[in-house]
């Protein structure tokens, strides 16, 4: 799933709603901000086979049987994009082999813009963009 919205709180609320409405709601909801925690994600992608459940070190395994949310995914470096692409392809090919759950990717603007600028992998976008959601803020409703 790919969630696109400028407002970070709106993106996070959308991801949380999908998690809570899913069969994986009893599992953890783990969020990684790719703009500020890329090293954490890259270490996890490099060492995912270690199966460490330490969320500070391995968010992939911390989200097992739950939901992993990658916020601001288009800000990842080319090297980390390659690692993520490999992980997504392998996890899809070996469905359930890693105890993995749902992956929700989020970004502030349409990722095609980053692809056009050469900042984001078209192949990775193809893997992540199977269901696209663009949430809209709900208008405030006063008490009746």
In tens, the pLDDT along 106-133 reads 999 999 999 999 999 999 999 999 899 9
Residue 40 has pLDDT above 70, yes or no: yes
CATH number at residue 56: 3.40.50.300
Instruction: Report the chain's mean pLDDT, rounded to a whole number.
Output: 85
User: Phi-psi bin for 121: left (phi > 0), alpha (psi -120 to 50), beta?
Assistant: beta
- Domain range holding 37? 2-133
pTM for this predicted structure: 0.84
Backbone conformation region of residue 3, classed left if phi is above 0, alpha if psi is from -120 to 50, else beta: beta
Note whether residue 143 is domain-resident.
no
Q: Is position 49 within any domain?
A: yes
Domain for residue 144, yes or no?
A: no
115 closest CA partner among 103, 135, 129, 104: 129
Residue 140 domain-assigned? Answer: no
CB 133 within 8 A of CB 4: yes
Q: How much is the CA Rg of the chain, to the nearest whole Å?
A: 15
Is the residue at 139 inside a domain?
no
The reply to whether 81 falls in a domain is yes
Residue 73 lies in a domain: yes
Q: Does residue 66 have a pLDDT over 80?
A: yes
Q: Is residue 142 part of a domain?
A: no
What domain count does the chain have? 1
């Amino acid at each position: 799933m790919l969630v696109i919205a400028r407002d970070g709180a709106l993106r996070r609320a959308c991801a949380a709603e999908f998690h809570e409405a899913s069969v994986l709601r009893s599992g953890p909801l783990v969020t990684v901000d790719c703009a500020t925690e890329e090293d954490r994600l890259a270490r996890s992608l490099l060492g995912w086979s270690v199966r460490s459940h330490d969320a500070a070190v391995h968010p992939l395994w911390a989200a097992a049987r739950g939901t992993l949310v990658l916020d601001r995914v288009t800000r990842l470096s080319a090297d980390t994009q390659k690692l993520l692409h490999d992980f997504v392809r392998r996890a899809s090919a070996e469905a359930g082999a890693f105890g993995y759950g749902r992956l929700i990717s989020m970004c502030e603007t349409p990722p095609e813009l980053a692809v056009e600028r050469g900042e984001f992998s078209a192949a990775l976008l193809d893997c992540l963009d199977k269901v696209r959601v663009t949430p809209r803020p709900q208008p405030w409703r006063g008490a009746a």
